[in-house]
């Protein structure tokens, strides 16, 4: 222990008690905005919600506890604690009194704001607030004497403390997992009002963005070229991107309930065993359109690399992305897009979201006016939970009783599944209607692919929703439906043996990795990025792709 540390000690406190005490101080006092939010957003109506509420203080204080344990050592403890106390005192005031949420944009603002704007925020009540919760505690920290053990003992003790708290938090999480998942889902922005998580996370993200902003955007193949079979037809492909639809509840795959009465009547190829790339939209959607496979997929790289749509566009296809979900996750950034919620078609929209039928509105006219090879992507809202009951109109409420609340953990599993199945019934109608629209235009070489981004847990083993780490996620979250329909013209002029496709689709296993290369093959594009081994049509072509014969391909 240095002599310097012993100068003028007033009170002595052991380091681990100080860290614990300060974490609790942060957890309760410096998180006033969070606790007010909780008081107005949680109703304790069951024992599990009670346990959830009981566990929240641990959950809120833990990240700060971890942070302080990591950064506190002789000479650093005081500056670290004072810095975070002052910062959190100010953010606590802003969040509580001005309703500020602290996210990456906010942090960027702070770094780019001039001082005059900042001083506008200084008021007497603000000063008083910061004096009481920030300055006075900081002065006390500066005055106390902190006692440390030897390095070895100190580190060992901290590890034990963190481990013990981790056990408590983990235990609570295991018991109240459903409540946490549901609460997180319905209150996505709440992390932005949790001190110190909000600004620590956002500052790290801000600098990450700054670093990556200078990255170069990578073109996949500027020479991608349409090399069609000799035929006079315009090609039209409709790609329907499903949301949270799981194969298990599709009757075309043998689900006992008739959830696909319309698709069962269509002449479709249904792929029985398709695995998603991720268990959440944010991973799956960019991955599906990327040339990267699931195992080498990188969420940052993908933002700086062209995707399937870019290749199609380069090759001369016209692309239209109709969006009705929570955004295209960067996939549609360089193609024409139409946002259904913004269009706000009064027949299907309520200003906040739209039924998926909005995606079909005007589509027949659009298809009728097609003058060049075109790909239309319909990004459905599908079965986006937990408010499944909001995703379909009344005529599709066939399976009852339903779960007409976002708090699905309060419904029986039967109700949740009924509601979900009604959704699939509605998806069946959407996909089948789109097929009918293409059928009405036999002059095109047209096709349709429906594929979901990931699945969903509906209470199996007490799991709900999706987004589990891929390796441990249950099959329900990864086994997705994929359906193909081809017009007579497309079958003939793309030399695809449809019976062969049906057989392959029933027997073989596929993944999202197949999508990129299969569509490039189907749309007759010559590019070095194409890999034949991923092409789902490869074994069922009665004639080699012209691209392959005109230019020898590497794949």
**Contacts to Zn ion by CB under 5 A:** 243, 281, 453
Instruction: Return d(Cα 420, Cα 357) in angstroms, integer.
Output: 17
Position of minimal CB gap to Zn ion: 281
| Residue whose CB is less far from Zn ion, 78 or 294 | 294
| Residue whose CB is less far from Zn ion, 184 or 254 | 184
- The H or E element spanning position 238 is strand 235-242
Tokens coding 304: 């700086």
Whole-angstrom CA distances from 63 to 75, 194, 198, 462 are 22, 10, 11, 26
Q: What is the Cα 398 distance to its own chain's centre?
A: 29
- The H or E element spanning position 448 is strand 445-452
CB of 245 to Zn ion, least distance (A): 9
**Phi, psi (rounded to 5 degrees) for 131:** -60, -50
| Residue whose CB is less far from Zn ion, 63 or 242 | 242
CB of 244 to Zn ion, least distance (A): 5
Instruction: Return d(Cα 433, Cα 427) in angstroms, integer.
Output: 10
CB of 101 to Zn ion, least distance (A): 24
CB of 453 to Zn ion, least distance (A): 4
| Residue whose CB is less far from Zn ion, 157 or 387 | 387
Tokens coding 357: 């039928």
CB of 303 to Zn ion, least distance (A): 18
| Residue whose CB is less far from Zn ion, 74 or 327 | 327
| Residue whose CB is less far from Zn ion, 55 or 244 | 244
Tokens coding 230: 């000799």
CB of 432 to Zn ion, least distance (A): 21
Instruction: Name the residue with tokens 């296993």.
Output: 509
Instruction: Return d(Cα 435, Cα 447) in angstroms, integer.
Output: 8
Tally helices (H) and strands (E) across the chain: 21, 14
Tokens coding 119: 């001083």
What is the Cβ-side half-sphere exposure of residue 494, based on CA atoms within 13 angstroms? 29
| Residue whose CB is less far from Zn ion, 281 or 337 | 281
CB of 16 to Zn ion, least distance (A): 43
From 99, 77, 81, 86, select the one nearest 32 (Cα to Cα): 99
């Amino acid at each position: 222990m240095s002599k310097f540390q012993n100068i003028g000690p007033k009170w002595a406190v052991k380091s681990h008690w100080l860290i614990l005490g300060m974490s609790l101080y942060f957890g309760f006092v410096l998180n006033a905005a969070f606790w007010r939010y909780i008081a107005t957003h949680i109703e304790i109506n069951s024992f599990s919600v009670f346990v959830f509420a009981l566990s929240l203080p641990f959950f809120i204080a833990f990240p700060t506890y971890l942070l302080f344990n990591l950064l506190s050592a002789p000479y650093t403890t005081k500056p670290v604690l004072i810095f975070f106390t002052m910062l959190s005192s100010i953010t606590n005031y802003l969040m509580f009194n001005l309703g500020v949420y602290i996210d990456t944009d906010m942090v960027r603002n702070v770094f780019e704001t001039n001082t005059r704007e900042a001083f506008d925020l200084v008021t007497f009540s603000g000063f008083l607030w910061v004096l009481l919760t920030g300055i006075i505690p900081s002065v006390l920290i500066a005055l106390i004497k902190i006692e440390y053990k030897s390095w070895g003992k100190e580190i060992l003790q901290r590890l034990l403390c963190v481990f013990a708290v981790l056990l408590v938090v983990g235990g609570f999480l295991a018991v109240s997992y459903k409540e946490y998942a549901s609460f997180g889902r319905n209150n996505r922005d709440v992390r932005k009002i949790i001190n110190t998580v909000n600004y620590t996370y956002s500052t790290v993200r801000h600098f990450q963005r700054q670093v990556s902003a200078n990255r170069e955007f990578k073109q996949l193949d500027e020479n991608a070229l349409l090399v069609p079979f000799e035929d006079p037809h315009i090609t039209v492909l409709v790609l329907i991107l499903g949301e949270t639809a799981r194969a298990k509840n599709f009757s075309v795959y043998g689900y006992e309930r008739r959830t696909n009465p319309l698709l069962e009547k269509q002449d479709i190829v249904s792929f029985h065993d398709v695995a998603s790339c991720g268990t959440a939209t944010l991973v799956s959607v960019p991955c599906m359109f990327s040339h990267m496979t699931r195992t080498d997929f990188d969420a940052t790289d993908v933002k700086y690399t062209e995707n399937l749509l870019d290749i199609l566009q380069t090759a001369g296809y016209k692309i239209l992305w109709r969006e009705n979900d929570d955004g295209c996750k960067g996939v549609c950034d360089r193609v024409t897009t139409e946002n259904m919620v913004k269009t706000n078609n009064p027949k299907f929209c309520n200003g906040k979201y739209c039924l998926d039928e909005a995606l079909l509105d005007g589509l027949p006219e659009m298809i009728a006016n097609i003058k060049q090879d075109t790909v239309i992507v319909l990004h459905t809202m599908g079965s986006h939970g937990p408010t499944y009951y909001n995703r379909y109109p009344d005529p599709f409420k066939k399976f009852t009783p339903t779960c007409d609340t976002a708090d699905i953990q309060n419904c029986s599993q039967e109700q949740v599944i009924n509601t979900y199945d009604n959704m699939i019934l509605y998806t069946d109608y959407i996909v089948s209607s789109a097929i009918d629209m293409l059928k009405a235009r036999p002059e095109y070489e047209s096709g349709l692919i429906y594929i979901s981004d990931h699945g969903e847990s509906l209470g199996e083993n007490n799991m709900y929703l999706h987004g589990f780490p891929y390796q441990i996620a249950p099959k329900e979250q990864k086994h997705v439906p994929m359906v193909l329909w081809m017009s007579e013209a497309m079958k003939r002029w793309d030399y695809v043996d449809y019976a062969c496709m049906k057989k392959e689709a029933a027997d073989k296993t596929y993944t999202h990795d197949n999508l990129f290369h299969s569509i490039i093959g189907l749309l007759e594009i010559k590019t070095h990025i194409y890999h034949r081994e991923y092409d789902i049509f490869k074994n069922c072509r009665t004639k080699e792709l012209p691209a392959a014969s005109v230019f020898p391909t590497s794949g």
